[in-house]
């Protein structure tokens, strides 16, 4: 069992992490960016909010993005958020 867990840990260290913005109504990927780690995901989401028109949309995010700066960007865009 230890070898399995060690192998899984090694794989997750080298796994790619993507942040994706989807338009589920139209079935489109609006943006997809690679991030080096989970911490980089916060900045990538903020960058996406700067360039994607999300006005009057519903954005779903996980609890990682419940930070003041991120939520402020979402509020500025006149959009709705589900965590």
pLDDT in tens, 52-67: 999 989 999 989 899 9
Question: Long-range contact list for 54-61, CB < 8 A, 24+ apart?
Answer: 54/79, 55/79, 58/82
H-type alpha helices, the chain: 2-14, 38-51, 68-76
pTM of the model: 0.74
Q: What is the pLDDT of residue 36?
A: 79
pLDDT of residue 39: 72
The answer to whether 54 touches 48, Cβ cutoff 8 Å, is: no
Res 13: pLDDT = 64
Tokens of 75: 């509020």
* Token code pair at residue 57: 């949309």
With beta carbons less than 8 A apart as the criterion, state whether 59 and 80 touch: yes
């Amino acid at each position: 069992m230890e070898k399995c867990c060690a192998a899984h840990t090694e794989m997750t260290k080298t796994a790619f992490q993507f942040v994706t913005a989807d338009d589920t109504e139209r079935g489109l990927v609006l943006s997809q960016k690679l991030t080096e780690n989970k911490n980089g995901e916060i900045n990538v989401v903020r960058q996406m909010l700067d360039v994607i028109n999300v006005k009057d949309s519903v954005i779903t995010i996980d609890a990682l993005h419940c930070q003041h700066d991120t939520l402020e960007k979402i509020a500025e865009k006149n959009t709705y958020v589900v965590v």
